[in-house]
Amino acid sequence: MSKFFNFFKLIPRPFLLSILSGLLIGTSYIPFSGWFLLLCYAPLWVATVELSQSTSFYKKIFFAGWLTQFILTLIGFNWIYFVASEFGQLNWILSLAALLLFAAFMHLYIPFSLVIGVWLVRKFKVYSKLSQFLIFALVLSLLERIWPSIFEWNLAYTLLWIKLPLYQWADSVGFWGLSTWILIVQAFITWALYTWKTKKSRSFITIISVLLFVAIFSIMGQLKKETWSKARDTVQFGMVQGNIGNLEKILAEKADRFHLYILGIYTDLTDQHLKQHPETELMIWPETAMPFALDTNYHRLEAQKKLLSSVTAWNLPLITGAYAIDSTKRDHLGYPLTSNSVFFLGPNEKLLAEPYSKSDLLVFGEYMPFGEQIPFLYKLLPFVGVYKRGDGPTVNDVILKNKTLKIGSQICYESLNPSFSRGLAEKGAEIIFNVTNDSWFGWWAEPYQHNIMTLARAIEVRRPLVRSTNTGISTVILANGTVLETSKINEAWTHTFEIPYLKNPPQTFYTEYGHYDWIFWIFVLLGLIYASAYSSYRKGRHVHH
């Protein structure tokens, strides 16, 4: 043990601080408790200030930031290893290499934000430590929004995870805006901790003021919840989580007899559920629950006929994930055009609405970057899918026995894009649903992360959101932020939800304007730099005279 501590004594203090920040940030994200949410960047920003006084400081600052982002990625996104081994069918060495490579590059905007922040500080002679920390926070906030990544990620989702009512403000600023709030709060706390020895009273007042800000806006957030709890109309929404393993899904996609096996699981679960819950008005099954085509020209095949006859027997609509195949057209590899789609099935073998096909395709899962231009890339990575892209946010009218619902569709990854859900709200969706298959990502972190990030969209646009998954987590969140019954992971499960919703719901501020808040924060950053530079200029003139 002494050798272990002696090793860390050899590491310079700034890099120890950057390691600490990586640990705090990684454990501030889902599925951890979030206890360090308001100070996790503080050690890194202090390290940056200390390194900015050394020689070759830009290289050292970048390395400190890189170390932080590498550690936080290993902690928060270690499920990449599971995906590489389960989906990519790679051995443990290559899977580990994939994780390390991912961790090395995923959050490079963090070290870049430090380098840019220090450059601004030195360029405009920003001497105030509080201003410096605020500049670091704002530059980080802006960079994390534009950095290219597989999915959008920020610390604000932890607010919903830990049920801190501050998340209710997402209908005004979105979770990106809340992330900026968190970083600015951290800048003030960082300054208070940094100056504690010399300015104890001011530091103490600053920390108390920050905590009061969080408390007041949380209380106001709770009041916002009450405002969105007045829906009059309701719908009884049934859900089935089939818990189909990856091996079964692969076999089903390649062998017709497995179609009937998987269909049997879903129809049996639905039969049993509807006997106990006859009040159900609408059923939903998850992404690619049916591993076959459901286009009308396939309806005479055995599995499709059995499914349609079951829907007729239930006498209520079914929304299910399946495949849409256009056999008259071919992709660049010569295969029929296939889409990851959602079908709206009604009694008497009718389609209640046009199928929706996934629009935001998952890179390396559903398409290969530059694959159309260089088809040889698919031979290098044969496990990568080739899917046709859909037409973007789509809202369908689904007619029930005594009402018509305007329902917006999301498939899997599309829930992580705030603009997609805004598009559904703008097109008049009264309820949004998301169908997902998270079985490729393991049981520990990713299902919880994906679930919370999906439910977050309901707060931004103030629509109920139904999340149906293959292996969990399946649930419903109401427009006021209340999360209803939640499934366990890797268990078959059914439930009927009574979901209150608004007819012709109003648009939130975030839906209409809030996604432009980055422009506001740019002006705040420029104003901060200008004020600091002007203050330095006045002090210089005063000294000169």
Residues with active-site annotation: 287, 358, 412
Residues with Cβ within 8 Å of residue 90, at least 6 apart in sequence? 84, 98
The burial of 320, by beta-carbon neighbours within 10 Å (0-12 exposed, 13-18 middle, 19 or more buried), is given as: buried
Helix residue ranges per DSSP H, 195-245: 200-227
The tokens describing 445, both together, are 């972190």
Collapsed DSSP state (helix, strand, coil) of residue 478: coil
For the chain, the first-to-last Cα distance in angstroms comes to 60
Closest CA to 42 of 11, 67, 68: 68
Give the pairing of strands 493-501 and 233-241.
antiparallel
Element (H, E) at 408: strand 404-411
Exposure string for 222-255, b = 16+ CB within 10 A, e = fewer: eebbeebeebeeebbbbbbbbbbeeebbebbeee
The DSSP call for residue 396 is: E
Residues contacting residue 439 through CB under 8 Å, at least 6 positions apart: 244, 245, 246, 249, 470, 471
**214: which residues sit within 8 A by CB, 6+ positions away?**
38, 164, 166, 185
Is it true that the peptide bond before 31 is cis, omega within 30 degrees of 0? yes
**8 A C-beta contact, residue 183 and residue 45:** no
Which three-class secondary structure string do you get for 95-126?
Answer: HHHHHHHHHHHCCCHHHHHHHHHHHHHHHCCC
| SS3 labels along 149-207 | CCCCCCCCHHHHHCCCHHHHHHHHHHHHHHHHHHHHHHHHHHHHHHCCCCCHHHHHHHH
What is the separation of C-alpha 76 from the centre of its chain, rounded to a whole number of angstroms? 13
| CB neighbourhood size of 399 (10 A) | 13
Q: State phi, psi for 348 to the nearest 5 degrees.
A: 60, 35
Euclidean distance between CA atoms 530 and 536, whole angstroms: 10
Cα atoms found within 13 Å of the Cα of residue 369, Cβ hemisphere only = 4
Beta strand pairing call for 282-284 and 233-241: parallel
